[in-house]
Amino acid sequence: MKENSNHSNRFDNAAETWDESPRRLAMAAKVCAAIEESVGIDPSWNMLDVGCGTGLVTLPFAKKALHITALDTSAGMLEVLEKKAAAEQLSNITTLCGELGSLVSDHRCRAGFDCIISSMTLHHIDNTSEALAMLAGLLKKDGTLAFADLDSEDGYFHDNAEEEVHHGFDRAELASLLASAGLSNVSFRTAAEITKVNRIGKERTYSIFLCTARKNPTSSNT
């Protein structure tokens, strides 16, 4: 399982100005609100944010949880996150640069996570079923997964036609993959909508779902 090799460089180059997009900031705020409303955050939780970027979702939850690990393939994005965390005097964030698979053998992650969150990352990972299985394996028994991503779209959401991504996801198909990964209590809600002029010049509204699921206490996926 891997992300497209060009992603890290592109995100490194965009890191310094990433937070200057009002639309991006608004979407992150809506995703955070949807996660909190759907899951709630226990102050004793050890959390993981996959594809954390500059921490637009990470930092709000770092203020609520005991600890959060922030994973991204872009060192540039993580550098911005670390500066923001330092400015807010948040010392309960651990940043890790790498792909999701690198966490499986990381001794710091062996205890598992109470809650794993992610926003607009899954569509960048080539093997969805493998990614979901890895996420399930990183959860503690009865742990919670909450991730936001695109509903199935027309293929023109991303501005770069050569970018290798999934063009959103069908909710029913994702629910089936989550069940196969040992997750239950799967629920979807629309977390946000983005209206933009896509790369073929047409204004279109794209919906962002929040999916939540819980690891079965008896799951053999560890």
pLDDT digits (tens, 9 = 90+) for 132-190: 999 999 999 999 999 999 998 876 676 664 565 677 899 999 999 999 999 999 999 99
pTM of the model: 0.90
Q: What are phi and psi of 52, to 5 degrees?
A: -70, -20
Residue ranges per domain, the chain?
A: 7-215
Which CATH class name applies to 7-215?
alpha beta
Q: Is the pLDDT of residue 221 over 70?
A: no
Q: Would you mind telling me the total number of residues written for the chain in this entry?
A: 222
Q: Is the pLDDT of residue 211 over 80?
A: yes
Q: What is the pLDDT of residues 67-119, one digit of tens each?
A: 999 999 999 999 999 999 999 999 999 999 999 988 877 777 877 999 999 99
- pLDDT of the residue at 152: 81
Q: Is the pLDDT of residue 4 over 50?
A: no
Residues 7/74, Cβ–Cβ less than 8 Å: yes
Q: What angle do CA 80, 23, 57 make, to 5 degrees?
A: 45
Q: Is residue 211 helix, strand or coil?
A: strand
Mean per-residue pLDDT for 200-213?
89
Residues 149/158, Cβ–Cβ less than 8 Å: no
Q: What gap in Å lies between CA 139 and CA 86, rounded to an integer?
A: 28
